Amino acid sequence: GENVEQHPSTLSVQEGDSAVIKCTYSDSASNYFPWYKQELGKRPQLIIDIRSNVGEKKDQRIAVTLNKTAKHFSLHITETQPEDSAVYFCAAPGASGGYNKLIFGAGTRLAVHP
Amino acid sequence: ETGVTQSPTHLIKTRGQQVTLRCSSQSGHNTVSWYQQALGQGPQFIFQYYREEENGRGNFPPRFSGLQFPNYSSELNVNALELDDSALYLCASSLARAGITGELFFGEGSRLTVL
Protein backbone atom coordinates (compact mmCIF):
# COMPACT_ATOMS: atom_id res chain seq x y z
CA GLY A 1 0.00 0.00 0.00
CA GLU A 2 0.92 3.65 -0.07
CA ASN A 3 2.75 4.84 3.02
CA VAL A 4 5.21 7.58 3.91
CA GLU A 5 6.69 7.64 7.40
CA GLN A 6 8.44 10.70 8.75
CA HIS A 7 10.72 11.19 11.77
CA PRO A 8 11.07 12.92 14.12
CA SER A 9 7.66 14.44 14.80
CA THR A 10 9.26 17.38 16.63
CA LEU A 11 12.76 18.81 16.44
CA SER A 12 14.23 21.60 18.50
CA VAL A 13 17.60 23.16 17.60
CA GLN A 14 19.65 26.21 18.43
CA GLU A 15 20.09 28.87 15.80
CA GLY A 16 23.07 28.00 13.61
CA ASP A 17 22.81 24.25 14.20
CA SER A 18 21.84 21.74 11.52
CA ALA A 19 18.52 19.91 11.32
CA VAL A 20 17.83 16.58 9.64
CA ILE A 21 14.41 15.08 8.93
CA LYS A 22 14.04 11.57 7.55
CA CYS A 23 11.32 9.82 5.58
CA THR A 24 10.74 6.31 4.31
CA TYR A 25 8.35 5.25 1.56
CA SER A 26 6.81 1.94 0.61
CA ASP A 27 6.34 2.03 -3.18
CA SER A 28 9.59 1.11 -4.90
CA ALA A 29 8.29 2.63 -8.15
CA SER A 30 8.19 6.13 -6.62
CA ASN A 31 10.40 8.55 -8.52
CA TYR A 32 9.68 12.01 -7.11
CA PHE A 33 10.25 13.21 -3.55
CA PRO A 34 9.27 16.75 -2.57
CA TRP A 35 9.50 18.57 0.73
CA TYR A 36 6.91 21.15 1.73
CA LYS A 37 7.15 23.79 4.45
CA GLN A 38 4.03 24.97 6.24
CA GLU A 39 4.27 27.99 8.50
CA LEU A 40 1.61 28.49 11.17
CA GLY A 41 -1.72 29.28 9.55
CA LYS A 42 -0.23 29.26 6.05
CA ARG A 43 -0.39 27.02 3.02
CA PRO A 44 2.19 24.25 2.41
CA GLN A 45 4.84 25.42 -0.03
CA LEU A 46 7.42 23.40 -1.93
CA ILE A 47 10.97 24.12 -0.76
CA ILE A 48 12.95 21.44 -2.57
CA ASP A 49 12.37 18.23 -4.49
CA ILE A 50 14.44 15.40 -5.92
CA ARG A 51 13.86 12.86 -8.66
CA SER A 52 15.08 9.31 -8.56
CA ASN A 53 17.82 9.82 -11.15
CA VAL A 54 19.96 11.77 -8.65
CA GLY A 55 21.10 11.02 -5.12
CA GLU A 56 21.42 14.54 -3.76
CA LYS A 57 20.21 18.04 -4.52
CA LYS A 58 21.17 21.25 -2.80
CA ASP A 59 19.70 24.75 -2.73
CA GLN A 60 21.59 27.18 -0.52
CA ARG A 61 21.09 26.03 3.08
CA ILE A 62 18.78 23.12 2.29
CA ALA A 63 19.60 19.78 0.71
CA VAL A 64 17.80 16.53 0.09
CA THR A 65 19.40 13.10 -0.19
CA LEU A 66 17.79 9.98 -1.61
CA ASN A 67 18.62 6.31 -1.07
CA LYS A 68 16.43 4.32 -3.47
CA THR A 69 17.75 0.97 -2.31
CA ALA A 70 16.71 1.63 1.27
CA LYS A 71 13.63 3.62 0.18
CA HIS A 72 14.39 6.63 2.31
CA PHE A 73 15.13 10.30 1.76
CA SER A 74 16.17 13.10 4.07
CA LEU A 75 15.99 16.88 4.35
CA HIS A 76 19.05 18.68 5.67
CA ILE A 77 18.94 22.30 6.81
CA THR A 78 22.27 23.91 7.72
CA GLU A 79 22.89 27.12 9.66
CA THR A 80 19.29 27.16 10.88
CA GLN A 81 17.58 30.50 11.46
CA PRO A 82 14.46 31.37 13.48
CA GLU A 83 12.50 31.82 10.23
CA ASP A 84 13.11 28.14 9.49
CA SER A 85 10.67 27.34 12.33
CA ALA A 86 7.68 25.61 10.70
CA VAL A 87 6.20 22.19 10.02
CA TYR A 88 7.97 20.26 7.27
CA PHE A 89 6.28 17.50 5.26
CA CYS A 90 7.89 14.95 3.01
CA ALA A 91 5.85 13.31 0.26
CA ALA A 92 6.02 10.63 -2.39
CA PRO A 93 3.79 9.84 -5.37
CA GLY A 94 0.72 7.72 -4.84
CA ALA A 95 0.84 4.34 -6.57
CA SER A 96 -2.19 5.08 -8.67
CA GLY A 97 -5.05 7.42 -9.25
CA GLY A 98 -4.41 10.93 -10.44
CA TYR A 99 -1.79 13.23 -11.83
CA ASN A 100 0.66 14.63 -9.27
CA LYS A 101 -1.03 12.64 -6.50
CA LEU A 102 1.16 12.87 -3.41
CA ILE A 103 1.13 10.92 -0.16
CA PHE A 104 2.38 13.06 2.71
CA GLY A 105 4.19 12.16 5.88
CA ALA A 106 2.74 13.23 9.23
CA GLY A 107 5.08 16.21 9.47
CA THR A 108 7.98 17.43 11.60
CA ARG A 109 7.56 20.52 13.73
CA LEU A 110 10.93 22.32 13.71
CA ALA A 111 11.63 24.95 16.33
CA VAL A 112 14.78 27.06 15.95
CA HIS A 113 15.68 28.90 19.13
CA PRO A 114 17.71 32.14 18.98
CA GLU B 1 -0.41 35.13 -12.53
CA THR B 2 -2.90 34.51 -9.73
CA GLY B 3 -2.36 31.78 -7.18
CA VAL B 4 -4.80 29.22 -5.80
CA THR B 5 -7.64 30.82 -3.87
CA GLN B 6 -10.16 29.12 -1.60
CA SER B 7 -13.38 30.17 0.06
CA PRO B 8 -14.62 30.42 2.70
CA THR B 9 -11.56 30.64 4.93
CA HIS B 10 -13.40 29.54 8.06
CA LEU B 11 -16.81 28.04 8.69
CA ILE B 12 -18.72 26.31 11.46
CA LYS B 13 -21.36 23.66 10.85
CA THR B 14 -23.29 21.19 12.97
CA ARG B 15 -23.44 17.42 12.62
CA GLY B 16 -25.61 16.23 9.76
CA GLN B 17 -25.35 19.45 7.77
CA GLN B 18 -23.82 19.80 4.33
CA VAL B 19 -20.96 22.05 3.25
CA THR B 20 -19.55 23.30 -0.06
CA LEU B 21 -15.99 24.57 -0.34
CA ARG B 22 -14.68 26.39 -3.39
CA CYS B 23 -11.33 26.65 -5.12
CA SER B 24 -9.94 28.64 -8.02
CA SER B 25 -6.92 27.08 -9.70
CA GLN B 26 -3.69 28.82 -10.51
CA SER B 27 -3.65 30.16 -14.05
CA GLY B 28 -2.46 27.55 -16.55
CA HIS B 29 -3.21 24.54 -14.33
CA ASN B 30 -5.67 21.87 -15.40
CA THR B 31 -5.79 19.58 -12.37
CA VAL B 32 -7.30 20.20 -8.96
CA SER B 33 -6.72 17.97 -5.95
CA TRP B 34 -8.38 18.21 -2.56
CA TYR B 35 -6.68 17.27 0.68
CA GLN B 36 -7.91 17.02 4.26
CA GLN B 37 -5.46 18.09 6.95
CA ALA B 38 -6.47 17.20 10.50
CA LEU B 39 -4.80 19.09 13.32
CA GLY B 40 -1.18 17.98 13.70
CA GLN B 41 -1.30 15.68 10.68
CA GLY B 42 -0.13 15.72 7.11
CA PRO B 43 -2.51 16.41 4.22
CA GLN B 44 -4.54 13.35 3.17
CA PHE B 45 -5.62 12.95 -0.45
CA ILE B 46 -9.39 13.09 -0.92
CA PHE B 47 -9.70 13.13 -4.71
CA GLN B 48 -8.57 14.84 -7.87
CA TYR B 49 -10.37 16.35 -10.84
CA TYR B 50 -8.98 16.48 -14.39
CA ARG B 51 -10.98 17.51 -17.44
CA GLU B 52 -14.06 17.87 -15.22
CA GLU B 53 -13.95 14.19 -14.20
CA GLU B 54 -12.86 12.58 -10.96
CA ASN B 55 -9.40 11.17 -11.68
CA GLY B 56 -8.35 9.35 -8.54
CA ARG B 57 -9.76 9.06 -5.06
CA GLY B 58 -8.34 8.44 -1.62
CA ASN B 59 -9.88 6.54 1.27
CA PHE B 60 -12.87 8.83 1.80
CA PRO B 61 -16.57 7.83 1.80
CA PRO B 62 -18.98 8.80 -1.01
CA ARG B 63 -20.44 11.64 1.07
CA PHE B 64 -17.29 13.50 -0.05
CA SER B 65 -17.93 14.59 -3.62
CA GLY B 66 -16.72 17.26 -5.97
CA LEU B 67 -16.95 19.10 -9.22
CA GLN B 68 -14.57 20.75 -11.64
CA PHE B 69 -15.79 23.48 -13.96
CA PRO B 70 -14.61 24.38 -17.49
CA ASN B 71 -12.48 27.20 -16.08
CA TYR B 72 -10.73 24.56 -13.89
CA SER B 73 -12.21 25.89 -10.64
CA SER B 74 -13.56 23.24 -8.30
CA GLU B 75 -15.93 22.51 -5.44
CA LEU B 76 -15.72 20.03 -2.60
CA ASN B 77 -19.04 18.94 -1.11
CA VAL B 78 -19.40 17.04 2.13
CA ASN B 79 -22.80 15.66 3.14
CA ALA B 80 -23.98 14.41 6.52
CA LEU B 81 -21.15 16.11 8.38
CA GLU B 82 -19.52 14.24 11.26
CA LEU B 83 -17.41 15.61 14.10
CA ASP B 84 -14.30 13.96 12.59
CA ASP B 85 -14.74 16.04 9.45
CA SER B 86 -13.38 19.02 11.37
CA ALA B 87 -10.13 19.86 9.58
CA LEU B 88 -8.35 22.20 7.21
CA TYR B 89 -9.38 21.44 3.63
CA LEU B 90 -6.67 22.26 1.14
CA CYS B 91 -7.09 22.65 -2.56
CA ALA B 92 -4.03 22.15 -4.76
CA SER B 93 -3.74 22.85 -8.46
CA SER B 94 -1.11 21.49 -10.81
CA LEU B 95 -0.33 20.84 -14.43
CA ALA B 96 -0.93 17.28 -15.56
CA ARG B 97 1.97 15.82 -17.53
CA ALA B 98 1.97 12.16 -18.50
CA GLY B 99 4.58 10.18 -16.65
CA ILE B 100 5.95 13.11 -14.66
CA THR B 101 4.92 13.97 -11.11
CA GLY B 102 5.11 17.68 -10.51
CA GLU B 103 4.60 20.39 -7.93
CA LEU B 104 1.33 20.99 -6.16
CA PHE B 105 0.37 24.59 -5.55
CA PHE B 106 -1.81 24.87 -2.46
CA GLY B 107 -4.42 27.39 -1.46
CA GLU B 108 -4.59 28.79 2.07
CA GLY B 109 -7.32 26.29 2.95
CA SER B 110 -10.80 26.32 4.40
CA ARG B 111 -10.97 25.51 8.10
CA LEU B 112 -14.13 23.58 8.87
CA THR B 113 -15.36 23.07 12.41
CA VAL B 114 -18.21 20.62 12.97
CA LEU B 115 -20.05 20.94 16.29
Residue A56, CA distances (Å) to A32, A67, B4, B80 in order:
12, 9, 30, 47
> pLDDT digits over B11-34, tens only?
999 999 999 999 999 988 889 999
Residue A57 pLDDT greater than 80, yes or no: yes
> pLDDT digits over B76-99, tens only?
999 999 999 999 999 999 998 877
B71 phi, psi to nearest 5 deg = -90, 15
Return the minimum-mean-pLDDT range out of A5-9, A12-16, A26-30, B33-37: A26-30
* A46·B31 Cβ contact <8 A: no
Instruction: Report chain A's mean pLDDT, rounded to a whole number.
Output: 93
Residue A21 pLDDT greater than 90, yes or no: yes
For chain A, where are the E strands, in sequence order?
4-7, 10-14, 19-25, 32-38, 45-51, 56-59, 62-67, 72-77, 86-93, 102-104, 108-113
* B106·A44 Cβ contact <8 A: yes
pLDDT band (50, 70, 90) for residue B1: low
Q: Which residues of A touch B (CB under 8 A)?
A: 4, 6, 31-32, 34, 42-46, 49, 89, 91, 93-94, 96-107
